[in-house]
Amino acid sequence: MDISRRAFLGGSAAVLAGSVLDIDQPPLVEATGAAQHAQAHVLNSAPATMPTAEVIALNRIAYGPRPGDIERVQTMGLAAYVDEQLNPNDSDDADCLARIATATLHIQYAAGTDYPAVDEDRPLETLDQTLDVLWQRSKHGSFTERYRPVDEVRAATWLRAIYSKWQLREVLMEFWLNHFNVNTRADSRIAATWPLYVYGAIKPHCFGKFRDLLEAVAQSIAMQYYLDNATSRDGPANENYARELFELHTLGSDNYFNDLYDRWQDVPGAQEGSPAGYIDVDVYEAARAFTGWTIADGKYVGSGSYLPDTGEFMYYDGWHDNAQKRVLATEFLHNAPPLQDGHDVLDLVARHPGTARHICKKLCQRLVADQPAESLVQQAVAVWLANVDDAAQIQKTLRTIILSAEFSATWGKKVKRPFELQVAFLRAIGAEVTPNSSLFYRLGQTGYAMFDWPTPTGMPDIAAAWLSTNTIMQNWNTLYALYSSSFGAATFDLRAQIPATATTSRQIVDYWVSRMLGYSVDASTYEQLLSFMAQGEPVDQAPVGSDTDLTNRINNLVMLIAMTPDFQWR
């Protein structure tokens, strides 16, 4: 029986005209024409059925539903589910924690002059190691050993995204790590201490007060080295961190007014002490404020003196510019107490209305639509500013966004980035997943550079950036590789998961469409799925074929559903 499949991309169109994907062939699948059609259909088509609010939420504040999730959220109510997700309890995540505790990753490298060769499967031992241990790792002679903590965090990130009960926290950690992007390959000291950035700076504050998150990031080893503030000193200051603090982390480029105003006094609102935006002089002055903020890494500081070599954040007064400064129309007096200048800058940018809009728009863009409704952004901004001193500032803003009318009234305005797509697939099919280097490599082939994005901007969060023909083909081939277990990352038995009551081709298709999507596909796509499953036999009878053929057909049916635009949308 011929089991070649057309590449499905639904919406209002049925099948990609003339494009045939044979999922039995090994990667890479050569389907440029199919990918081009996919690009158009995902961007331009619309769902035939509007999902329920629960299905929408599970695709936006979680990495897609696992079996039983939709029914659970419908039973408890969306608001209760959101409140549960906004108040995670680590002790109530036993399955995920057990998987992380028992996971291993292979590590292999040749011997060096001062270390032996290694070739072993090793537990994820660095995730909760202390600074002193990780700091010593940064001095290891092998790059593979220095970089090992990044791979361990990658493995844990996959496992948490697939299995953690606290899905919204995983989504938000991905958001903040992208917002405060650091390339782990920029410096071995960043790589070796990476768990401290992810679990020490980002995780504790991802639902909290933005000002606290901002300072945790500013003082982290990762950001200090990535944006060069660790070497910034008076005469002149290094401006890299201050520039990105304004442009990316807080006010955003929309509030950069240097093309309009040369003097701080001319910026609207500056004379009243509330400038509407920032200009270059604010960056220069802020950079001076952060001089002396550094890492205790044994640097020579002159006169025969060295910094301690502990990896801790520290303030070295000998490098600080103690003269008077002015940032965002606010005067900083000379000879301020240690750290005060930098703290004052963080206070100013954290409280600025431009920061509220920049961050809230990004949150709405991440959770709702590439071009979120202005009404929703304004709701979020109002809550953000009203809670600027609240320990639950981010949590309250998120709740406003997720429970808004705009959140549940939109669908298909976002597409899943490659990591989301792959995790959603694994969650939907109930896979047993063992992260490994091949899984990391395949994700990287799609263009999704987990922890390695090369610029401070972070990865883009609009559909067009992730719908190139190459990315679509790589996504399809990665799903194929996961489905075929060709690199040992996932195992599952899809046929065994079908309930005994689903015996006909139609019932099997209905079961998997409902489980994978949570709503109905358009009629044309549905007919193609039925036709594939029935293979010429009546759709309301049991499918005919050998045991092997039926198993493969069910597996490939699930693959086809995962290739529809409906599965790409969120």
CA–CA distance, 212 with 204 (Å, rounded to integer): 10
pTM: 0.93
Amino acid identity at 337: P
Residue 4 pLDDT level (bands cut at 50, 70, 90): very low
- C-alpha distances out from residue 135 to 126, 181, 222, 315, Å: 11, 21, 12, 18
- Stretch 222-232: mean pLDDT: 98
Handedness of CA 322, 326, 328, 330 (dihedral sign): positive
DSSP string, 510-522: HHHHHHHHSSPPP
Specify the 3-state DSSP secondary structure of 295.
strand
Would you say residue 13 has pLDDT above 50? no
CA–CA distance, 224 with 222 (Å, rounded to integer): 6
Q: pLDDT (tens digit, 9 = 90+) per residue, 134-157?
A: 999 999 999 999 999 999 999 999
CA–CA distance, 148 with 142 (Å, rounded to integer): 10
Q: What pLDDT shows up at residue 480?
A: 85
Q: Please, are residues 244 and 181 in contact by the beta-carbon 8 Å criterion? A: no
Nearest C-alpha neighbor of 102 from the set 125, 136, 126, 79 = 125
Instruction: Write down the mean pLDDT value for the chain.
Output: 92
Half-sphere exposure of 518 (CA within 13 A, CB side): 27
Q: pLDDT (tens digit, 9 = 90+) per residue, 84-123?
A: 999 999 999 999 999 999 999 999 999 999 999 999 999 9
Name the H helices within 123-142.
Answer: 131-137
Q: pLDDT (tens digit, 9 = 90+) per residue, 257-270?
A: 999 999 999 999 99
Q: What pLDDT shows up at residue 80?
A: 98
Residue entry with tokens 């990591």: 419
Q: What pLDDT shows up at residue 172?
A: 98
- Stretch 333-362: mean pLDDT: 98
H or E segment and range at residue 175:
helix 167-179
Furthest CA-CA distance within the chain: 88
Strands (E), 161-307: 293-297, 300-302, 305-306
Would you say residue 201 has pLDDT above 80? yes
Residue spans per domain, the chain: 5-51+464-568, 90-223, 232-337, 353-408
**Sequence-distant contacts of 315-319: CB under 8 A, at least 24 apart:** 315/339, 316/292, 317/292, 318/292, 319/232, 319/233, 319/234, 319/291, 319/292, 319/294
Q: pLDDT (tens digit, 9 = 90+) per residue, 427-446?
A: 999 999 999 999 999 999 99
Percent of the chain residues past pLDDT 70, beyond the cut: 92
Q: What pLDDT shows up at residue 36?
A: 67
Q: What pLDDT shows up at residue 22?
A: 39
- Stretch 288-310: mean pLDDT: 97
Residue 31 pLDDT level (bands cut at 50, 70, 90): low
